[in-house]
């Protein structure tokens, strides 16, 4: 498991910056979180710096580096939370369909919240030990989750989401609670229950509710406000029922196998994924329709004739 080098991944804060002055908050957070770091370094310097024998100073430097990193993350989280509480008192975050213009208050505050959250989340995700600090960030910023959830391989929005326990978010999966489409910003609460497995590169759109022990297969998309029933496997664009999920039963180690007959599988998938109409030309489609209609007509006529005969007798 290795993360692509061009991507940051992890908890997702959109880079939408409605007003440039929001960056003042960002700069303030960076400034405020570095100060405790410097004080910590001062203590270390006073304790261990010795011009003639610097060995102690250099030996414990790596350990100090880790400690300083954790300090800066928690300092950033602390200050960001305070700012966030104040901002949320001024304008309470809420669900709904908003407009993507600077005049819309909800859109502005959504952008401001993301700008504030960016610095601590960025820091937490840059720590090479995966997950733990991310999940702490999630918890502090109001996402209900468990520390053991593995959500760091994809992009997960940082508000209006609820996770159960043992949720796995696959590589490159995107779990959203806010999406920009056209001139609209749609914010809806996403709920994901216990033991849900989300496949790689699949997208969970805002407002989706996923029941327990559900599997969302790779490369599939849910629609806004879709409800995925518990104990089913879903696949497709948009996600449809694929089959019942029996993979949470015990004692299946020897029975689980693969598939070799890909052609028949293709047919099965074709019903679920959108059919490619553009492969078939318009005229051909019309002809097929005509043929079907004629067949139906013939059948009806035959039945009618039979009926007449019967009547004659």
Partner 1 sequence: MVKMSEEAGDTDSPNSNDSEDEVIKEEVKMHYHVYITLFALIFYTSWVFAGILFFYYVLQFFLPNVLETHNFLSLFTEFKSLLSLLAMPFVLIGCYLLHLFFLALATRILWKITEKISPSKEGIIPRNIRSKAANYYHIRSFMIKYGKNSFAKGVFPWLSKWYYNFIGASKMGRGTTIEESIVNDKFLEIGDNCYIGVDSAFGTHVVEGIFGNISYFKIKVGNNVTAATSNLFGPGSEIHDDSYLLPWASGVKHTLTQGNNFYWGLPLRRIFKRKIMQYLDISPNDLEKNENIEGYRDKKLLKKLKTEERINNKSDNDKGQLIAELTDNQIDIHKLTDEDLAIDFTTSSAISRINIKFLALYLPIFFLSGFMVAIFWYWYLLDENWVAILSFLPLALFGSIYFFILACLLFSKLFLILINLLHKPREGVFKAEIGDNDFEFWKMRTELRKLSLWFLRNSPFPWTDVIAFKLFGVDMDTSSHLADTWCDGEFIKFGRKNLVGQAAVIMSSMIVGKYLLIRSVILDDYVMIGTHTTIVPGTIIGKETMVGGACTTTVNQVLEPGWIYTGIPATKFKPNKYALSHREILMKRDVDKERKFEIEHEVNIDEDKRELIKAKKINQEKKESEEI
User: Under rule CB under 8 A, which residues in 214-273 are in contact with partner 1?
Assistant: 215, 217-219, 221, 223-225, 227-230, 233, 235, 237-238, 242-260, 262-263, 265-266, 268-269, 273
Q: Based on the shown chain and the rule CB under 8 A, indicate whether residue 49 belongs to the binding site for partner 1.
A: yes
Q: Based on the shown chain and the rule CB under 8 A, indicate whether residue 51 belongs to the binding site for partner 1.
A: no
List the structure tokens of 286: 């019309």
Q: Report how far residue 194's alpha carbon sits from residue 211's, in angstroms, rounded to the nearest whole number.
A: 8
Q: How far is the CB of 177 from partner 1 (least distance, A)?
A: 13
Q: Which of 282, 309, 310, 312 binds partner 1 (CB under 8 A)?
A: 282
φ/ψ of 138, rounded to 5, equals: -55, -50
**Which residues, 191 to 210, sit near partner 1 by CB under 8 A?**
191, 193, 197-201, 203, 205, 207, 209-210
Closer to partner 1 by CB, 141 or 242: give it: 242
- In this structure, the dihedral spanned by the alpha carbons of residues 308, 309, 310 and 313, taken in order and rounded to 10 degrees, is 120
Q: Report how far residue 288's alpha carbon sits from residue 64's, in angstroms, rounded to the nearest whole number.
A: 74
Q: Which of 112, 140, 173, 239 binds partner 1 (CB under 8 A)?
A: 173
- Residue 102, SS3? coil
Closer to partner 1 by CB, 141 or 202: give it: 202
Instruction: Select from 79-87, 102-110, 288-296, 304-312 the region that touches partner 1 (CB under 8 A).
Output: 102-110
Q: Which of 274, 283, 310, 313 binds partner 1 (CB under 8 A)?
A: 274
Instruction: Select from 82-90, 94-102, 289-297, 298-306 the region that touches partner 1 (CB under 8 A).
Output: 94-102
58: burial class by Cβ within 10 Å (0-12, 13-18, 19+)?
exposed
Nearest CA to 256 among 246, 265, 264, 270?
246
Closer to partner 1 by CB, 62 or 311: give it: 62
Q: Based on the shown chain and the rule CB under 8 A, indicate whether residue 104 belongs to the binding site for partner 1.
A: yes
Q: Which of 87, 91, 93, 170 binds partner 1 (CB under 8 A)?
A: 170
Q: How far is the CB of 116 from partner 1 (least distance, A)?
A: 14
Q: Report how far residue 151's alpha carbon sits from residue 298's, in angstroms, rounded to the nearest whole number.
A: 59
Nearest CA to 193 among 215, 217, 212, 169?
212
| SS3 assignment for 196-226 | CEECCCCEECCCCEECCCCEECCCCECCCCC
Q: Based on the shown chain and the rule CB under 8 A, indicate whether residue 90 belongs to the binding site for partner 1.
A: no
Q: Report how far residue 103's alpha carbon sits from residue 280's, in angstroms, rounded to the nearest whole number.
A: 46
Closer to partner 1 by CB, 74 or 155: give it: 155
Q: Report how far residue 207's alpha carbon sits from residue 299's, in angstroms, rounded to the nearest whole number.
A: 47
Q: Report how far residue 186's alpha carbon sits from residue 191's, in angstroms, rounded to the nearest whole number.
A: 16
Residues 6 or more apart whose CB falls under 8 angstroms from that of 81 comprise: 140, 141
Q: How far is the CB of 149 from partner 1 (least distance, A)?
A: 7
Closer to partner 1 by CB, 263 or 310: give it: 263
Q: How far is the CB of 85 from partner 1 (least distance, A)?
A: 23
Closer to partner 1 by CB, 248 or 304: give it: 248
**Which residues, 106 to 135, sit near partner 1 by CB under 8 A?**
106, 119, 122, 128-132, 135
Closer to partner 1 by CB, 281 or 298: give it: 281
DSSP-derived secondary structure letter, 150: B
């Amino acid at each position: 498991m290795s993360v692509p080098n061009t991507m940051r991944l992890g908890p997702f804060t959109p880079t939408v910056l409605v007003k440039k002055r929001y960056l003042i908050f960002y700069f303030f957070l960076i400034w405020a979180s570095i100060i405790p770091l410097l004080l910590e370094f001062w203590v270390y310097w006073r304790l261990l710096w010795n011009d003639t024998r610097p060995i102690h100073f250099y030996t414990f430097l790596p350990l100090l580096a880790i400690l300083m990193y954790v300090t800066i993350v928690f300092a950033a989280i602390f200050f960001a939370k305070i700012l966030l509480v104040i901002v949320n008192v001024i304008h309470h975050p809420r669900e709904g369909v908003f407009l993507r213009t600077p005049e819309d208050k909800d859109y502005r505050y959504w952008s401001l919240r993301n700008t504030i959250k960016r610095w601590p989340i960025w820091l937490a995700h840059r720590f090479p030990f995966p997950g733990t600090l991310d999940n702490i960030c999630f918890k502090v910023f109001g996402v209900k989750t468990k520390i053991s959830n593995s959500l760091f391989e994809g992009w997960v929005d940082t508000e209006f989401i609820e996770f159960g326990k043992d949720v796995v978010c696959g590589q490159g999966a995107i779990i959203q609670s806010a999406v920009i489409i056209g001139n609209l910003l749609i914010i809806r609460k996403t709920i994901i229950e216990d033991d849900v497995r989300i496949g790689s590169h699949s997208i969970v759109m805002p407002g989706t509710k996923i029941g327990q022990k559900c599997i969302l297969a790779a490369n599939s998309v849910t629609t806004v406000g879709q409800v995925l029933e518990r104990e089913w496997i879903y696949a497709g664009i948009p996600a449809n029922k694929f089959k019942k999920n029996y993979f949470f039963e015990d004692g299946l180690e020897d029975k689980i196998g693969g598939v070799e007959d890909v052609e028949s599988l293709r047919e099965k998938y074709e019903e679920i994924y959108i059919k490619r109409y553009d492969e078939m030309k318009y005229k051909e489609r019309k002809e097929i329709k005509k043929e079907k209609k004629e067949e139906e007509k013939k059948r009806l006529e035959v039945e009618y004739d039979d009926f007449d005969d019967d009547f004659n007798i």
